Amino acid sequence: MAQPRPLLIAPSVLASDFGKLGAEIAAVDRAGADWIHLDVMDGHFVPNLTFGPPIIKAVRGTTNKFFDAHLMVSNPDALLGEYAAAGAEMITVHIEACTHLHRTLAAIRELGCKAGVSLNPATPIHGLEYVLDQLDMVLVMSVNPGFGGQKYIPEAAQKVAAIRHMLGERDVHIQVDGGVTPETAPLVYHAGADVLVAGSAVFKGGEESAYKANIEAIRQACA
């Protein structure tokens, strides 16, 4: 059995107070976040709308933490350069939205960013097979994307394990996003995920001391 990878916690700002987004990001940074997860939604790939490159750029100065942009958009190729220029360090696209996935991943890396691919809950993993060396991260959705606060879909854990097996020795992150709590986090961490996104479970309580306790609870559950 391989050594477990260090756990990284990426709070999703979708559950934060958008009226003070910069301050919320600074607060989760101080509270122990490893990465900042930025949920970009276009009202087309998913029903909801959030923000794009200008907002990412506006909050970039509030933290030095790694900016992890999750693009839930139908045409990610259109603005890749803008996300990179705004300060995104990981750019994750949805496999369901990419006709030329290999090209899109190469374009992300050419911009100097890490390249991620996300799979919706119903999407099989075989589409990853021929891009394994073009990837820095696979994002396994454990809810149907579009909204925070949904219930974890348990099949995510076996999907994580199958992807970890498929990746072999490659140094690739597996991220899980959706319904991650202290109860569900260990299921996916022990299956081989190393980056856990949590929105509601981190931002509940609405203040920095609560964020700190919430992040710590997820870490403890996985220890």
Question: What is the secondary structure of 155-190 as a DSSP string?
Answer: THHHHHHHHHHHHTT---EEEEESS--TTTHHHHHT
Q: CA-CA distance, 216 to 9, in Å (whole number)?
A: 10
Closest by CA position to 155, among listed 171, 173, 143, 165:
143
| Out of 39, 42, 136, 194, the residue judged to bind ligand DX5 by CB under 6 A | 39
Quick note: the x/- pattern for ligand DX5 over 133-152, rule CB under 6 A, is ----------x-xxxxxx--
DSSP type of residue 194: -
39 included as an active-site residue: yes
Burial class (CB in 10 A: 0-12, 13-18, 19+), 215: buried
Quick note: the x/- pattern for Zn ion over 58-97, rule CB under 5 A, is ------------x---------------------------
| Footprint on residues 167-196 left by Zn ion (CB under 5 A) | 177
| Out of 198, 215, 218, 222, the residue judged to bind ligand DX5 by CB under 6 A | 198
Span near ligand DX5 by CB under 6 A; candidates 12-20, 58-66, 85-93, 120-128: 12-20
Query: Residue 39 forms beta bridges with which residues?
Result: 70
Quick note: the x/- pattern for Zn ion over 14-43, rule CB under 5 A, is -------------------------x----
Catalytic residue among 29, 42, 136, 177: 177
Residue whose pair of structure tokens reads 């996916």 in the numeric block: 188
- Residue 178 CB, nearest distance to Zn ion (Å)? 7
Rg (CA), the chain: 16
Residue whose pair of structure tokens reads 């075989």 in the numeric block: 126
Residues lying near ligand DX5 in the complex (CB under 6 A): 12, 14-15, 37, 39, 70, 143, 145-150, 177-180, 197-201
